[in-house]
Chains A and B, each alone.
Chain A
Amino acid sequence: MSEVNAKLGDDELVLTVDDEFYPRDALYGAAYIFIDRCYVKLDRPSDKQVSVRLKLKPGVKRDLQQLAGEFENELLGQAWRRQITEENRTVVEQITTRALAGAAGPPGLDDLMDMDIDDDTAFEDPLGIAQSWEDKYKKKNPAEALEKHAADGSADAKKDSDPEKKA
């Protein structure tokens, strides 16, 4: 038994949707999409069913069979989008929270006081901010470069040691 049944009239169609298959928000979303070209009316023919009457607005020429298909597609799309949103809600919230926390600016005095800074961690510079430009980008000793890139496993080691091959 199909969960969406369509009954076609002269200028309107009535779709009956099984409540169990489609969440209410999906139904609202799909119905709302059609109010620009149809007069839409929701009703309850039974406890577990919702009927959607789509009546074409004056001047709108549309095949009703096609309209029914479009509505069913929209209903499915809305339900699917809702499911994706639910599945990813936690991730989205985490990302949003981090983004907002970052936008809040640098840590204040209280935050700094709460940080665990001691002699071991105070002078760590993981981003190399305290390093001078010259030290950071100085031309490497060819032997040092080869050793470093060998350790990294990169084939670009030979570029650093041979200036003519540098890009």
Chain B
Amino acid sequence: MELVFPIDLYSGKAVDAAVKMYEPYASFELEKTDSAYIVRLTAQGDFTDAQIADELANYALGASVEGGHE
């Protein structure tokens, strides 16, 4: 599953922190383009891709808001 985080809406640090948080539950591939941070994930264990993606997106949003968007 692929998640696209627009660069002007999400903080890069927040996305990295979110990926790190959910590393135990999925494998990740990260890419940065001119306009977005792209996170490709494959869930492991008992969780689905969608579940991990949803939780990760929430975490990234919270971290972007709390940490101040760069």
Contact = CB atoms under 8 A, between A and B. Distances in A.
A and B physically associate: yes
A52 B27 CA distance: 26
A50 B55 contact: no
Interface of A: 24, 28-29, 31-32, 35, 39-44, 50, 55
Given A28-B69, A35-B62, A44 B9 contact: yes
Contacts, number: 36
Interface in B36-66: 54-55, 57-58, 61-62, 64-65
10 contacts: A31-B65, A35-B58, A35-B62, A39-B54, A40-B58, A40-B61, A42-B6, A43-B4, A43-B9, A44-B35
B2 interface: no
Contact of A55 (B6, B10, B54): B54
A42 B61 contact: yes
